[in-house]
Structure 1
């Protein structure tokens, strides 16, 4: 159970950060995926208002990060916070390794990592590393980045007596329910799949078509399932070191993530929720997952509307999580023995 059962869909990130101000003070925090109008911007602004020692902001555009930093600086409570911008393209393994090296050079520890970055593209694309774009950017890039930063995360855990206060938060989506991990076809090249890799029955042809291997909805969903399974693995492997990971569904928020959807896609998204949040409200669940001391002891892998919630069974299966871990190691060309 969280500290504040009253927190819910309408709670703002600003409220959460204020409630856990002491958990922010003096921390070194990394927020991945920061640009004007994004959830990352709202997370960064809320955190910056409560005296972290260092705030690291990573994204594809340094210009956009610096716009966010300038906005943060206009507020009295955060104008003196040390903030650093890091260029990071999660679709490129080379860029991830370069960014990780830079982050590691900027700080002796990382108390909180919020992996917020994600893309949603309408057409099938492969990265230069040969991976489907959603899976590469929303999971594989974050898998590699987080593992390369683990020595700094472990240093933070060693430096605090509060086991579980060191957190890795992966932003996922309720849309993960549309697809398990397609281990035999993560790049969406086939229409025939093993039973345990198929989407749930009953989905419309606009999402699952018998003659079309690729669906942007399924590509996105697979990557969001991977985010949850990544949290399952991280907590299992690191809880003995005082590190806990949660994945969070921020809620339905109309952000730039939907900008690449066609008219049909946007229409479908608009029908997925009766409650639409603003950006500050969308940041709230990630901040609860990152800061709430009641969550120091692992209590599951998935949160929604600022509370623990139930994910699809295929997204929280420990054996599937371990299988994804090994696949991810293979795809990045590096083993991580935790």
Structure 2
């Protein structure tokens, strides 16, 4: 059983995992200052990873986070990466850049942290509902395109930062664009994208087995939960501090008991394995069949074949 819980902080875990973080190459998406991703990379920098790759849609914000890390930990090497997950062109360009860095031959940990939450209906430049495009398809594409560098690590790990938002919607295979916005609910769309994150983790683990927060309309979130009969709709939202909110990022990326989990997908919450009996973990987000269907749909949507098929 994990010795950590909801109140555990990233600061505590970085101290506990310092020897495991040291000399690692870590690529993290969504690293704006004062965000979960930004706090995560600043926290683990204290343990002296060999390289931090900071990816963000806004280059100046990534650079600001890099400067703050350099000021505190000048010996840690840092590289920034412009990445808009809502644009497949941007994702491909960023991936090509990562692959061109001969001085960074491996990526030990990929933390897919970036995402958007409950915007009004928008369509990406590639024609997909924005949360599906950004939170899933862009992440799917990036992970596949840089997979060879991940697998070059002696102890690779891929972290999908989701939430318990999967409770808000299964993946809508026949209508993931919400009838061109006519039936759009921003919280259901968010839930679909979080379910997609979990399903991607399941498929990724299966395919690799052979190789190795905020000003939001939380009243609307409660209403969505109530519509679906989820208990969270009747409770108060208990916000975590950044230090607490990032703790599970650190746990997922470095906890030694999770070693080898690249080929076994695990749902983590509050620095522990999720319990389907007590946590709100929906069966639609843990189904291998749904995961395979989504993987196939993602490949077709991106007009690519998974890089894993050629390894």
TM over 0.5: yes
Aligned-partner SS, 2:78: strand
Counterpart of 2:84?
A: 89
Contact 1:300–1:308 (CA<8 Å) still a contact in 2? Answer: no
Pairs within 5 Å for 1:141-220:
141-156=138-153, 160=154, 165-189=155-179, 213-220=183-190
2:31 is aligned with 1:41? no
- CA-based RMSD: 2.1
Contact 1:122 1:262 in 2 (8 A): no
Consecutive unaligned residues in structure 1, runs of 5 or more: 192-211, 243-253
Question: What is the alpha-carbon distance in structure 1 between the residues aligned to residue 80 and residue 265 of structure 2?
Answer: 32
Give the number of aligned pairs: 291
Structure 1 residues 146-166: Cα deviation after superposition (integer angstroms, max 9, x where no partner): 00010101111xxx2xxxx31
In structure 1, C-alpha distance between the alignment counterparts of 2:221 and 2:36, rounded to whole Å: 19
Superposition deviation, residue 330 in structure 1: 0.7
Q: How does 1:258-273 map to 2 (within 5 A)?
A: 259=215, 261-262=216-217, 264-265=219-220, 273=236
TM-superposition CA deviations, 1:112-166 (whole Å, max 9, x none): 000000102431111110000000000000000000010101111xxx2xxxx31
Measured after TM superposition, the shift of residue 167 of structure 1 is: 0.6
User: In structure 2, which of residues 60, 70, 75 is the aligned counterpart of residue 73 of structure 1?
Assistant: 70
Does the CA-based 8 Å contact 2:201-2:265 persist in structure 1? no
Q: Does 1:305 align with 2:251?
A: no
Identify the match of residue 225 of structure 1 among 195, 201, 204.
195
Secondary structure of residue in 2 paired with 1:104: helix
Give the 3-state SS of the residue equivalent to 1:57 in structure 2.
Answer: strand
Give the match's secondary structure for 2:209: helix
The change in CA–CA distance for 1:175 and 1:273 in structure 2 (over 3 A counts) is farther
Moved over 6 A (4+): 266-271
Residue 103 of structure 2 corresponds to residue 103 of structure 1 = no
Hey, what does 1:287 align to over in structure 2? 250
**Is 2:286 the partner of 1:316?**
yes
What's the TM-score, normalizing by structure 2? 0.88
Q: Which residue of 1 aligns with 2:226?
A: none
Query: Is 1:12 the counterpart of 2:9 in the alignment?
Result: yes
Distance 1:187 1:71 in 2: 39
